[in-house]
Amino acid sequence: MNVHELTGDALARACAEAMLSRDYASQALGIVLDEARVGYARCSLIVGPTMVNGHGRAHGGITFTLADTAFAFACNSRNEASVGMQASISYIAAANLGERLVAECHERSVRGSSGVYDITLTREDGTLIALFRGVSHRIRGTVLEGAST
């Protein structure tokens, strides 16, 4: 399909895939794009040996990065270039080596050039690991050149 013809969830998926293809940090961590729709994204990763802290648990920065990646995909889902303006995370439980973590991002509000997004991080079995809230700011440009916004 021609990029000019993409709309809705197909456009959101194409934007997320394009962003991931240029996101070498997320690629290096093995972050996988599981799903992308307008205002929504779900990503996952498996906690590897280079991702644990001095207590043998997933490093908080890894958890934050997974959530931030889902946030990026969701807030850019309409092909309007957006960046994070503010983010916070509350750690609820530890994640362990070898566990698959899932970040699910839901858009809560978009007004003007700002958006608010809530991300839930869980283990694969649904156990809550962390809660993340991100605020986005729309900048000039698009994710996909030539696609409609």
- Classify residue 44: in a domain, yes or no: yes
Range of the domain at 32: 3-138
Tokens of 134: 């991100």
Q: Please name the residues in contact with 144: beta carbons below 8 A apart, sequence gap of 6 or more.
A: 3, 6, 11, 14, 15, 18, 79
Residue 82 lies in a domain: yes
Is residue 126 situated within a structural domain? Answer: yes
Q: pTM here?
A: 0.93
Task: Judge whether 144 lies within some domain.
Answer: no
Confirm whether 87 is domain-assigned.
yes
Would you say residue 149 lies in a domain? Answer: no
CATH number, domain at 42? 3.10.129.10
pLDDT in tens, 112-124: 999 999 999 999 9
Segments in the chain below pLDDT 50: none
40 occurs within a structural domain:
yes
pLDDT at position 42: 98
* Strand intervals (E) in 6-81: 32-37, 40-46
Q: Which residue has the tokens 């043998």?
A: 56
Residue 143 included in any domain:
no
pLDDT, tens only, 79-101: 999 999 999 999 999 999 999 99
- Considering its fold, how many domains does the chain have in total? 1
Structure tokens at 22: 């240029």
